[in-house]
Amino acid sequence: MFHKKLIPESLILKAVLIFFLGFIASVMIWVQVKDTYFYMITLVASKLLAWIKDASLEEIAQRGEAFSVTMGFIKGNTYASVVVSLTSTVSRYYTFTVPLSLALFASLSLFIKRKKRAFAEAVLLLFLSHLLYVFFTEGTALTERLMLNGIEPVNTVRFSLYQYLWKAMEFTVTSFGPFLIAAYIFVRFRK
């Protein structure tokens, strides 16, 4: 009886140890790749937004931890360029969520089956949540600029929708996104 009680506790202790070691390792790796990751997310989100807004993506420039995206629009015979800035605050959300998520996924490896599939789905969900967050952040700022400059007709419903989705994604990514993805992985792949 006593021996059976130690086994679950030892698994939990191992999971906690894996979490802390995974968190330290992922922070060290994350510091090296975070700018590339944020650039990649910004590039994909900007291309999607340019396609939706019928614009051309002209430039993505990095200034420290912040990015600025320049898009070109044709209205009639006039060409206009609009610059949208993504502040360093946006990239700071990843600084917390990516290492935490990777550490959570690693600690769950003791309790799940099909680990490669589970890890791939978890990373894909994390990437998609970040992509949607940047897409709606950029979409809100771009829509506001386009409406103010008369390039796009004023539509408060569309602008409010972008704003709502931006704030909803911000809340999800920063508050409980990693835990929600970890819960999904645990429920879907548990032994």
**Residue 115 forms part of a structural domain:** yes
**Residue 77 forms part of a structural domain:** no
Query: What domain count does the chain have?
Result: 1
**Residue 125 forms part of a structural domain:** yes
Tell me if 63 sits within 8 A of 87, measured CB to CB.
Answer: no
Of the candidates 91, 112, 94, the one whose C-alpha atom is nearest the C-alpha of residue 102 is 94
Q: What pLDDT is recorded for position 93?
A: 67
Tell me if 146 sits within 8 A of 82, measured CB to CB.
Answer: yes
The fraction of the chain above a pLDDT of 70, given in percent, is 91
Q: What pLDDT is recorded for position 176?
A: 81
* Beta-carbon count within 10 A of 24 CB: 12
Q: What pLDDT is recorded for position 48?
A: 93
Please give the average per-residue pLDDT across 148-156, as a whole number: 83
Q: What pLDDT is recorded for position 47?
A: 93
pTM of the shown model: 0.83
**Residue 75 forms part of a structural domain:** no
Q: What pLDDT is recorded for position 172?
A: 80
Cross-strand pairs, 67: 62, 86
**Residue 71 forms part of a structural domain:** no
**Residue 45 forms part of a structural domain:** yes
CA atoms within 13 A on the CB side of 40: 9
Which structural domain, as residue segments, surrounds residue 182?
Answer: 2-53+90-189
**Residue 68 forms part of a structural domain:** no
The number of residues in the chain equals 191
CB-based burial, 140-158: b 16+ in 10 Å, e otherwise: bbbbebbbeeebbeeeeee
**Residue 74 forms part of a structural domain:** no
- Between residues 18 and 64, the one the model is more confident about: 18
